[in-house]
Structure 1
Amino acid sequence: MKYVSLLVLLCATSFTAIAADHASSKNAEKPMNVVFILADDLGWSDTELYGTTELYKTPNILRLAERGRTFTRAYSNSPLCSPTRASILTGQTPARHGSTTPAHHTKRVRMKAEVAKRSAPSNKAVVVSSVTRLDTAFPTLGKLVNEAGYHTGHFGKWHLGPEPYSPYEHGFDVDVPHWSGPGPAGGYIAPWQYKNFKANYDGEHIEDRMAEESIKWMNSLPEDKPFFMNYWQFSVHGRWGGKAEIIASYKDKIDPASGQLSPTYAAMVHTLDDAVGSLMDAIDEKGIADNTIIVFISDNGGNIHSPIEADGGAVPTSNAPLRGGKASIFDGGIRVPCIVVWPGVTTPGSRSDELIQTSDFYPTLLNGLGIDLPENHALDSMDIKPALEGEKLKREGIFTYFPSQTKVDDWLPPAVAVHSGKWKLIRVFFGGEAGKHDYKLYNLSKDIGEKNNLATARPELVKKLDQMIEDHLVDTNAVTPIANLDFDPDQFRPDLIGTRVSKKKR
């Protein structure tokens, strides 16, 4: 009798194990969903990920980090939004795709970058005029996943052109609120100013609504095929504003000795984080966490130059210990928070110091989803799966091309930079003497704030890294700044380079 009982127990155990293995195998065979969360203007020090803030509270972003791998050296492709967004969707740098400034909401349609017609005599270089629309000829990420059978939805900010250059023309089945502007129309708190998208109630916050709309869409989808969701947040871009009760809760938490002095901005970060939490909860409730990739990253560094009147003129944030911010090629403008949750690939709660860039998600996601990379489409990016798995990347460097100038704190004239290992070299076009370029070299492992320019002390390294820059510009067929033939040395003010030019409204 004991023998029969033991036999029954063994059979039952074996059956349970086989069933579990079958269920696990079946679950693993399911194609992965993707939720791509792109924050707007969220700086490297604007979350609790890196121990650089006492003010901002981001428990949901920390919760997301517990599920995947946090990257400490993730970079946007540009210190401004539209160029980075174009790079995510194409896998190319701004040097190649031509979007170098966020002019994609303007009426001017320019499909090829070109050198500007003129420059002020105080400038040594003539800037490049950016492309103003994301060309529909590109095999964009949305198109490729849609063609592979994915449901596709875009929620939030786009800023790559109105129709016929909207998300609909780039592979997305759904686009809410179908807005091509640089920030939330009319502000964050309803009533808003979108053409065909109204608030559910007065005082509704657009970020809450975007999270709600994206979740509603996700839950409405049939389970016959996977989905790819762009949740590109409006937060924390201007116009400045937030929920009054949250702003009030941060007012007594401001440390005057800190560079983070805005309760309004703190409330905006708070609401951004709430939206991340809402998405995570919805994914869990739907039971798809094991088959959903989540990418969280920002399009550029934090804004350190736009005074917020409601906060007594305090600027939105500080990216310290990094130098600079949005619209600056220093690391404060391009080093950004990043988390990737990829079940079966990333180790929960892990970190990586590998050098990655926003454009890398194009080949990484396509390869990971089993979608062929398009032919005759040059890439300036790499599959970072080894880094996702905790391994080293075989990477020579990454490039930041910013051939324009916006006179914010720590701005530079038209420039391009390369990060290679611990080194960063910035080439300022024609910024030196007698029409030569100027160079700034930093050892970021010892000088994260880019305070000590080693270019004069390390000429051979400058030469090597500058050759990498030149090779990239040639390979991408980049339109580059030219020397300003109208330059007048008497009008040149080097003392003003890096100094903010104030405007009444920004």
Structure 2
Amino acid sequence: MRRRNIYTLAIGALAVACNTEKAPDAVQDPNIVIILADDLGYGDLQHYNTERGKIPTPNLDRLAAQGMSFTDAHSSSAVCSPSRYSLLTGRYHWRSRLQKGIVGLFDDPLITPDRLTVAGLVKQQGYQTACIGKWHLGWDWPIDDAMRPLWKVNKTVEGEDDESFVATDEQKEAWQSVYANSIDGGPTAVGFDHYFGTDVPNWPPYCFIEDDRTIGIPSEFLPKELLGNNMASMAGPAVSDWKLENILPELCSRAAKYITKSAQKDEPFLLYLPLTSPHTPLAVNEAWDGKSKLNRYADFVMETDAQIGRVLDAIEKSGESDNTLIIFTSDNGCAPYIGAKELEAKGHFPSGPWRGYKSDVWEGGHRVPFIVKWPGVVKAGSTSDQLVQQVDIMATLADVIGVKLPDNAGEDSFSLMSLLKGNDRPVRDNAVNSSIRGVPSVRQGEWKLILDSGSGGWTKGESDQEIQLYNLTTDPGETTNLVLEYPEKAEEMKKLLEELIVRGRSTPGEVQDNDVEVVRYL
């Protein structure tokens, strides 16, 4: 069991330099493993959806049996990049420049260098830190506007709609000039000692990146047959013989090796493992092809569960299981385009009992599985129905390692420590979640206000009122809009949202600035 007094002098100096305050009674630093699935719905886990879930997930069910399952847990957004920002910073994404949508191809870093992340937080206290997986939060790509056309496929002379997937010498030269150099602004710029992964698996560059460099130089276009049909979604440069099926197994293999190696060192470690699955590309390996007897997405969920099992087994074999805190969750709900209706026709409901899917401000867009295992602290097989957010991971880890967050970090993060220890009182009385278009919903206890007449995302369905008010206790499916019956409640919650925006935080502390003028939907 590691004890912090090994590092007292060095860590004390770091804490002062980085403006964090260490609690005197904190004596143990557990290893921390955060596993973030991509587009995995609340109902895709058997544990969360026993009656209407048809996909076997034995490894995640085992993790749930060993820890605490949260039933009212949420990602900041119903899509990818904003939720990742919020999880890593403890701050709502809409306080940043990302008011809607996701970080685009070759966009600048969303996390600024002065922003404390969960990795930077624990690194100050002597932790080894690594990110293995999908980043999708921007880099300082050395690609200017004039060069960007060289990343697109070429039109052929046969016809305007015909495209050539053969790279020209000019394109290869441009790609070489970019990918032969370091790429700044990624994970190693915001607190991670080490990174390995693919920035976005369905976007170029189609290669692995290690720390701040690509592994190999992309020299050809990804083959046309790998585009569309829930595989890669954007043409672009790839390394030779790039296999989409290899991504997930390689990430989990690297994660297992990192755990094994890090467990042999004196310092505790934090591993952030943002998986690329079961998001598209639905690149299922042969052993799992057709295994679910449902559809390809369901096969990929099963393969994802198996690969997570490899990581969990590595923790067990490392000898550090009893001193490792594991958090598992998903960045948003299941994407409807993977055949969600087909699955529902066969009896599997990827959003469980909730309305909507990925992109939507309805519950199916952002209510996600959230499981915490921490032997000796969290009771095995326990459940919490309290409202929690992924932004709460930051304050929770600060509590775990015994430090106080500065006022300009984790502005929306509430510690879950009391819940993990079995207390059943709320740790937060409000929360904000957003759709892909940036439409916000506000939670206050059992009440939920949506500042739009529809989903705010891809799912059709409009209320006959401009805004929606639901009581999730009596109407978890968000079927009955109560805004005309309770107009005072709606106004109260509008004012709450405005206060949260203006104060720059939802936790107690000094008022903070948002990075930009927040878009209002009031």
- Give the TM-score band, short-chain normalised: 0.7 to 0.9
Question: For residues 42 and 89 of structure 1, what CA distance do their matches in structure 2 show?
Answer: 19
2:134 to 146, 150, 157: 157
Aligned to 1:464: 492
**Structure 2 counterparts to residues 407-426 of structure 1, below 5 A:** 414-426=438-450
Question: For residues 204 and 247 of structure 2, what CA distance do their matches in structure 1 show?
Answer: 9
> Amino acid of the residue matched to residue 452 of structure 2?
V
2:378 to 346, 349, 352: 346
Q: Is the 8 A contact 2:59 2:308 kept in 1?
A: yes
2:466 to 424, 438, 456: 438
Q: Is the 8 A contact 2:52 2:352 kept in 1?
A: no
Q: Is the 8 A contact 1:187 1:241 kept in 2?
A: no
Q: Deviations over 1:217-268 (max 9, x none)?
A: 22223421100001111001112231234232223xx4xxxxxxxx211111
Q: Is the 8 A contact 1:36 1:230 kept in 2?
A: yes
Question: For residues 242 and 46 of structure 1, what CA distance do their matches in structure 2 show?
Answer: 17
Q: Is the 8 A contact 2:245 2:285 kept in 1?
A: no
Q: Is the 8 A contact 1:187 1:239 kept in 2?
A: no
Is 1:240 the counterpart of 2:282? The answer is yes
Residue 448 of structure 1 aligns to a residue whose secondary structure is coil
Residue 354 of structure 1 aligns to a residue whose secondary structure is strand
Is 1:169 the counterpart of 2:189? The answer is yes
Q: Is the 8 A contact 1:429 1:481 kept in 2?
A: no
Change (3 A) 1:394 1:482: closer
Aligned to 2:199: 180
Question: For residues 317 and 168 of structure 1, what CA distance do their matches in structure 2 show?
Answer: 38
Aligned to 2:114: 137
**Structure 2 counterparts to residues 245-256 of structure 1, below 5 A:** 245-251=287-293, 254=294
Q: Give 1:351 deviation, angstroms.
A: 0.5
**Structure 2 counterparts to residues 267-282 of structure 1, below 5 A:** 267-282=299-314
Question: For residues 92 and 379 of structure 1, what CA distance do their matches in structure 2 show?
Answer: 5
Q: Is the 8 A contact 2:46 2:61 kept in 1?
A: yes
What is the number of residues matched between the two proteins? 407
Q: Give 1:482 deviation, angstroms.
A: 6.3
Q: Is the 8 A contact 2:55 2:298 kept in 1?
A: yes
Is 1:374 the counterpart of 2:406? The answer is yes
Question: For residues 53 and 434 of structure 2, what CA distance do their matches in structure 1 show?
Answer: 33
Which 5+ residue runs of structure 1 have no aligned equivalent?
1-21, 110-131, 189-193, 255-262, 406-413, 432-436, 484-506
Aligned to 1:487: none
> Amino acid of the residue matched to residue 417 of structure 2?
K
Question: For residues 369 and 23 of structure 1, what CA distance do their matches in structure 2 show?
Answer: 12
Aligned to 2:480: 452
Aligned to 1:96: 95
Q: Give 1:199 deviation, angstroms.
A: 11
Aligned to 2:37: 39
2:451 to 407, 418, 427: 427
Q: Deviations over 1:288-344 (max 9, x none)?
A: 111000000111111013569x99xx9x97414211111111100000001001222
Q: Give 1:214 deviation, angstroms.
A: 0.9
Question: For residues 146 and 93 of structure 1, what CA distance do their matches in structure 2 show?
Answer: 22
Question: For residues 439 and 182 of structure 1, what CA distance do their matches in structure 2 show?
Answer: 36
Q: Deviations over 1:6-25 (max 9, x none)?
A: xxxxxxxxxxxxxxxx9999
Aligned to 1:78: 77
Residue 428 of structure 1 aligns to a residue whose secondary structure is coil
2:215 to 190, 196, 199: 196
Q: Is the 8 A contact 1:40 1:300 kept in 2?
A: yes
> Amino acid of the residue matched to residue 483 of structure 2?
A
Aligned to 2:321: 289
Q: Deviations over 1:144-178 (max 9, x none)?
A: 2122211111111010112422111011111112x
Q: Is the 8 A contact 1:152 1:229 kept in 2?
A: yes
Question: For residues 324 and 387 of structure 2, what CA distance do their matches in structure 1 show?
Answer: 24
Aligned-pair identity in percent equals: 32
Aligned to 1:56: 55
Residue 82 of structure 1 aligns to a residue whose secondary structure is helix
Q: Deviations over 1:413-471 (max 9, x none)?
A: x521111221111113999xxxxx93201111122211111111111211222221121
Q: Give 1:473 deviation, angstroms.
A: 1.9
Residue 42 of structure 2 aligns to a residue whose secondary structure is coil
Q: Is the 8 A contact 1:304 1:318 kept in 2?
A: no
Change (3 A) 1:239 1:386: same
Is 1:398 the counterpart of 2:431? The answer is yes
Question: For residues 397 and 278 of structure 2, what CA distance do their matches in structure 1 show?
Answer: 26
Question: For residues 141 and 385 of structure 1, what CA distance do their matches in structure 2 show?
Answer: 16
TM norm structure 2: 0.71
Question: For residues 3 and 82 of structure 2, what CA distance do their matches in structure 1 show?
Answer: 41
Aligned-residue Cα RMSD (Å) equals 3.4
